[in-house]
Amino acid sequence: MSQKQSNGHYAESMLKGRMAETLVEEMLKKCGNQVYRFGYESTLQNLTQLEARFDKHTEVSERMRAIPDFVVIDGEGKPAFVEVKFRWDPTKELHENDIDTLERVEKYWNAEMIFVNCVEAPFFRISRPPYFKNPSQPKRGLVLEPLTSVAAWNINKDAYAEYEALVEKYLTPTLKHE
């Protein structure tokens, strides 16, 4: 893959990730939750410019890179950390660094992980710590449930259907599985 293709693929992946985050954020808000952007890129934007100066293997650096995307406060005022990932099909294929990322997010934040996919409904799925059926062999299975299983977030069928349609409209046609 040429440098130009690599940069284009990276940009497309970043765009899809941001779209997935926005879809999740807006759906949760529509269902009566308070959603606050919290992630590394949002809260520590100035530090991202200095990232090259940090030793990426210190606990502080590891913790900063694992900051979840959102804080979601449900209708009863209970907060939860939420990380959103767009993946082609999280039931079959994770990115090569996903296992490390999931381990880091669980260790430092114990966050809910929402995976947005466009291969098979439900397009919005959640994984809660521990994320894997067998943590000693994580490649053997990510534990995923439909996002609608989170009763505290009050995700109603109409809102959910609206956002699944947006996944089909905006993410499915653009995806080129390689």
Q: What are the strands, taking DSSP E only, across 16-173? A: 34-37, 70-73, 79-86, 112-116, 124-127, 145-146
**Helices and strands: H and E segment counts in the chain:** 6, 6
Q: What are the pLDDT digits (tens) for 132-150?
A: 888 776 666 889 999 999 9
pLDDT at 1: 43
Q: What is the DSSP string of 69-83?
A: SEEEE-TTS-EEEEE
Q: Tell me the average pLDDT across 153-161.
A: 97
Contact by Cβ (8 Å): 118, 175:
yes
pLDDT higher for 128 or 65?
A: 128
pLDDT at 178: 45
Q: pLDDT band at 4, cuts 50/70/90?
A: very low
Q: How far apart are CA 11 and CA 24, in angstroms?
A: 20
Type of residue at 37: R
pLDDT at 42: 67
